[in-house]
């Protein structure tokens, strides 16, 4: 559902016409490569414009567009700021690309050239990637003329290091494909994306890439006694599914897989503990954790990751009905532990507990990372900027933190503590699904920790605030963000291949 961006690389100056020449500039308007050549050929045309208007300083994301002389190969020159040279990062380059994409909306553009020579090859690659990420637009259900009917945008990057640039771009495009898939899934309306249809989409997307996909339907889940998944979904005409995705890319087939688990509540009314009507439409995004896992598996397959990975997503629809589970019910989890239900709107943890148990029992993964739009409390604490990360091993947190810094998916470590664990004990069952009013994201994580095998590395990422945004960012339009895909792809690449 996104406008196609065709990215290519060359070291040769263009000989054919293009709509835009993008010229990156550090703060202080330090131009290089083709920019110097162009300005000399036109008697200082670009420099004169910049000197006259004095507004473009090269700050990160700043864009200045100049109509090119008629005799040149271009219709416009677009100068984009990269910020201070000493402070520049790949994320800033992508932000610059996002700003370019925004500026392109005002111009009918089919082809652009990005000058990346005389600078590190990564700059041009990440500017192009930023353009690709920012051009995402979910228009599947728009009738009439759609902007996705436009011809693909050709982005040609000029670089002195074509081979390195192509190699980097392959991995980045794999990640971007995973992010865009996750965004698509989150943005789908709930009448189109429900457990059965969602499971089919996963199979259709991943099986052709070499990912083994196994779908467990409600009959199988009942037989397996997945009490949490079935309780949450029992009132819906759209019965639950659990989908298992396996990628076997390691050279040693005996290598333990990395385990990823996602909450997939395709629509959350709150059940009997009904949510307020205002804003309930946003609850189509309550499957954001599962979307991140599906997107990650696509990224791993596309870049042929040299590791084994398994993803498990629990897909349910939480509805109120005469058959719905109730506050005060006691359910038995797949692990055999009993849970007192205090609120049917604390449903995600009931789905995750069974999925976490399943991935450990069947695949014995080296580690487990679960993702979920789990609590409003994490949004109160961290807003829409950071994902809350609950991690039980310091070494694993160090790896995730590094991946966060590189990827731009911001993580903030939150506490796991015995006090939160004790708070989730029930008087009449093993556990209860709701703690007190305070520290809601911490007690939710403590609940999940009860289902993690002793000694196993585990992280819980609460993406309630980062999976969906109402205000666009430079490389992320309004709506589903794909949060989680990028940081986990970086985590896997940096540590496992």
Tokens found for residue 95: 């932000």
- DSSP label at residue 291: H
Which are the contacts of 58, defined by CB distance < 8 A and separation ≥ 6?
25, 26, 27, 28, 29, 30, 81, 82, 83
Rg (CA), the chain: 24
DSSP conformation letters of 144-187: SS-GGGSPPEEEEEE-S-HHHHHHHHHHHHHHHHHHHHHHHHHH
Tell me which of 84, 166, 275, 410 is the catalytic residue.
275
- DSSP per residue, 299-316: HHHHTT-SSEEEEEEEEE
Alpha carbons 61 and 99: distance in angstroms, whole number: 6
Q: Burial, 63: exposed, middle or buried (Cβ in 10 Å; 0-12, 13-18, 19+)?
A: middle
Q: How far apart are the first and last CA of the chain?
A: 29
Q: Are 269 and 318 in contact (CB under 8 A)?
A: yes
Angular region, 215: left φ>0, alpha ψ -120 to 50, beta rest: beta
Tokens encoding 163: 């081979």
Question: Phi and psi dihedrals of 240, rounded to 5?
Answer: -65, 160
275 is catalytic: yes
DSSP state of 455: T
Residue 166 designated active-site: no
Angle ∠(143,146,150) on CA atoms, nearest 5: 155
Q: Distance between alpha carbon 402 and the CA centroid of its chain, in Å?
A: 17
- Quick one: which of 234, 241, 348, 231 has its CA closest to 286? 348
Catalytic residue among 349, 432, 486, 493: 349
- Complete edge-to-edge strand list for the sheet that includes strand 431-432: 330-332, 338-340, 431-432
Distance, CA of 385 to CA of 216 (rounded, Å): 35
Catalytic machinery residues:
275, 349
């Amino acid at each position: 559902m996104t406008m196609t961006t065709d990215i290519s690389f060359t070291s040769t100056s263009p000989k054919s016409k293009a709509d835009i020449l993008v010229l990156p500039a550090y703060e202080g308007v330090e131009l290089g490569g083709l920019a110097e050549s162009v300005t000399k050929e036109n008697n200082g045309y670009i420099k004169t414009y910049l000197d006259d208007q004095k507004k473009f300083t090269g700050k990160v994301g700043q864009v200045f567009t100049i109509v090119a002389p008629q005799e040149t190969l271009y219709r416009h020159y677009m100068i984009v700021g990269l910020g201070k040279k000493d402070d520049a990062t790949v994320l800033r380059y992508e932000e610059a690309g996002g700003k370019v994409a925004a500026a392109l909306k005002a111009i009918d553009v089919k082809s652009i050239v990005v000058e990346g020579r005389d600078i590190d090859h990564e700059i041009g690659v990440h500017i192009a990637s930023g353009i690709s990420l920012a051009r995402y637009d979910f228009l599947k259900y728009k009738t009439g003329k759609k902007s996705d009917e436009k011809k693909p945008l050709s982005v040609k990057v000029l670089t002195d290091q074509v081979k390195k640039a192509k190699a980097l771009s392959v991995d980045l495009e794999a990640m971007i494909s995973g992010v865009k898939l996750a965004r698509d899934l989150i943005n789908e309306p709930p009448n189109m994306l429900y457990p059965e249809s969602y499971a089919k989409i996963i199979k259709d997307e991943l099986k052709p890439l070499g990912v083994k996909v196994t779908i467990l339907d409600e009959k199988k889940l009942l037989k397996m006694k997945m009490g949490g998944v079935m309780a949450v979904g029992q009132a819906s005409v759209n019965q639950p599914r659990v989908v298992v995705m396996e990628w076997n890319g390691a050279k040693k087939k005996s290598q333990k897989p990395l385990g990823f688990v996602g909450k997939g509540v395709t629509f959350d009314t709150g059940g009997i503990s009904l949510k307020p009507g205002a804003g309930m439409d946003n609850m189509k995004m309550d499957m954001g954790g599962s979307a991140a896992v599906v997107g990650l598996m696509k990224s791993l397959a596309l870049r042929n990751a040299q590791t084994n990975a398994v993803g498990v997503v629990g897909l349910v629809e939480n509805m109120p009905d005469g058959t719905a589970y109730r506050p005060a019910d006691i359910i038995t989890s797949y692990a055999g532990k009993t849970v007192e239900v205090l609120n049917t709107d604390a449903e995600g943890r009931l789905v995750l507990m069974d999925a976490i148990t399943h991935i450990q029992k069947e695949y014995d993964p080296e580690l487990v990372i679960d993702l979920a739009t789990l609590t409003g409390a994490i949004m109160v604490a961290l807003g829409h900027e950071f994902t809350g990360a609950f991690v039980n091993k310091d070494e694993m947190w160090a790896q995730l933190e590094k991946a966060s810094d590189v990827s731009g998916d911001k993580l903030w470590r939150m506490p796991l503590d015995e006090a939160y664990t004790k708070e989730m004990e029930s008087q009449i069952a093993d556990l209860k699904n709701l703690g007190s009013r305070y520290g809601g994201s911490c007690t939710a994580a403590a609940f999940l920790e009860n289902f993690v095998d002793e000694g196993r590395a585990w992280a819980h990422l609460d993406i309630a605030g980062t999976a969906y945004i109402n205000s666009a960012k430079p490389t992320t339009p309004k709506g589903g963000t794909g949060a989680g895909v990028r940081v986990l792809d970086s985590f896997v690449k940096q540590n496992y291949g």
